[in-house]
Amino acid sequence: MAISLKSKREIAGLREAGRIVAETYEELRPRVKPGVSTGELDRLAEEFIRRKGARPMYKGYGARPASNGRPATPPFPATICVAINEVICHGIPSPKQVLQEGDIIGVDIGVLYQGWVGDACQTFAVGTINAQSQSLIDVTERCLALGIEQARPGKHMGDIGAAIQGYAESQGFSVVRELVGHGVGHNLWEDPQVPHYGSAGTGLKLQPGLVFTIEPMINIGKPAIRMLPDRWTIRTADGSRSAQFEHTLAITEGAPELLTVL
């Protein structure tokens, strides 16, 4: 898929979709607490998104047939992706999966509104968490902010990755390599890809009209990943905790515009 630059009118549509994502987080935030199931969070998110006139982007997404010896991937069955503790991303909500005091949970939300996609992720503390987990959340959120700072015309995609990688590793954490940010438009996954590691001054030169996500996934332990048999859930290979924050943004003539905020 070729990279497409979005017009101001198209970015306005993406902004409306992104606002619904941000509003869904405000709906869920007070409900992320011990004793609540991820299935309940998923139900609340779907009901809210549909009330806003949008539809869940992830539900039914991503089915792939078996190929080259790899098993088939079923369509994603839920509205939100959840990532508790050692899960990095794409975990499937369940009424049987109940949040416990001290957990951390990443909640990834995608919507489709009037033909445009909104996509973001936040990681939440469940009750009181330990100092290492809080540091992981803080560092990951800061990694996203540092990546966003580099998203300006004339910069390169490698500048975003270098800023994220440099800070995460300076704090003793690691950056997941296999999972990247991506362009957003009428489709959930468009070009360009946005690695969260790399070398400054390399890669695609950024220009106004580019719309993409930055979504660093940061691990306490090593960066290696492992996919579970459901063909969706991805966790750290070493069982260490992971956190993720994500925004969709548009490159403008000056500072980037975050599209998944209120």
Three-class SS state of 16: helix
Give the mean model confidence (pLDDT) for residues 187-204.
97
Give the mean model confidence (pLDDT) for residues 225-249.
98
pLDDT in tens, 28-37: 999 999 999 9
pLDDT at 124 over 90: yes
With pLDDT > 90 as the criterion, what percentage of the chain qualifies?
97
Letter string b/e over residues 153-185, b meaning 16 or more CB atoms within 10 A of that residue's CB: eebbbbbbbbbbbebbeeeebbbbbebbbbbbb
pLDDT in tens, 64-119: 999 888 899 999 999 999 999 999 999 999 999 999 999 999 999 999 999 999 99
Give the mean model confidence (pLDDT) for residues 217-230.
98
Q: Which two tokens stand for residue 79?
A: 């509205």
3.30.70.560, 3.40.50.300, 3.90.230.10, 3.30.70.20: CATH of 8-61+74-258: 3.90.230.10
Q: Which two tokens stand for residue 220?
A: 């306490």
What is the predicted pLDDT for the residue at 2?
83
Give the mean model confidence (pLDDT) for residues 192-202.
98
What is the predicted pLDDT for the residue at 260?
98
What is the predicted pLDDT for the residue at 68?
87
What is the predicted pLDDT for the residue at 1?
57
Give the mean model confidence (pLDDT) for residues 154-163.
98
What is the predicted pLDDT for the residue at 85?
98
| Cα–Cα distance, 215 to 248 (Å, whole number) | 9
| Chain center to CA of 146 | 16
Label residue 20 by pLDDT band (50, 70, 90). very high
| Cα–Cα distance, 201 to 183 (Å, whole number) | 20
| Cα–Cα distance, 182 to 213 (Å, whole number) | 5
pLDDT at 165 over 70: yes
> Who contacts 2 (Cβ-Cβ below 8 Å, separation ≥6)?
191
Average pLDDT, the chain: 97
Contact in structure between 144 and 245 (CB atoms under 8 Å): yes
> Who contacts 56 (Cβ-Cβ below 8 Å, separation ≥6)?
45, 46, 49, 50, 78, 79, 80, 110, 111, 112
Give the mean model confidence (pLDDT) for residues 169-195.
97
Show me where the domains of the chain are located: 8-61+74-258
